[in-house]
Amino acid sequence: MEERLRRTIFNAHVVAGKRHYFFDVKENERGERYLVITESQPSSESTYSRQRVMVYQEHLDAFLSGLRDAIKAMRRLIFRSVALVG
């Protein structure tokens, strides 16, 4: 019987200042797909600190809905701050 290993289906890398963000879509041994979002940033001269969030396929819509709401709120706050300054 052939053993199925985890595999990466898609990946993207975004650099934002000293932080690096990795977006990986993976598939586990049972064929279930999930998204892994990793933030990596330098913590000292030779080491990096990593934080990960895993979102399984069945939770993706709820996760995206919450993310969209958070982004809208941030944009409204930024717009208000700019309007107050300008």
Give the model confidence (pLDDT) of 23-64 as tens digits.
999 999 999 999 999 999 999 888 999 999 999 999 999 999
Domain edges within the chain:
7-85
Q: Is the pLDDT of residue 2 over 70?
A: no
Q: Helix or strand or coil: residue 59?
A: helix
Instruction: Say which CATH architecture domain 7-85 belongs to.
Output: Roll (3.10)
pLDDT at 46: 85
Q: Is the pLDDT of residue 12 over 50?
A: yes
CB 13 within 8 A of CB 38: no
pLDDT tier at 1 (50, 70, 90 boundaries)? very low
Query: Could you tell me which of 19, 18, 21 has the C-alpha nearest to residue 52?
Result: 21
Report how far residue 77's alpha carbon sits from residue 62's, in angstroms, rounded to the nearest whole number: 23
Instruction: Return the ∠ at Cα 69 (arms to 65 and 72), rounded to 5°.
Output: 140
Across residues 56-79, what is the average pLDDT? 94
Alpha-carbon distances of 44 from 4, 19, 68, rounded to whole Å: 37, 13, 33
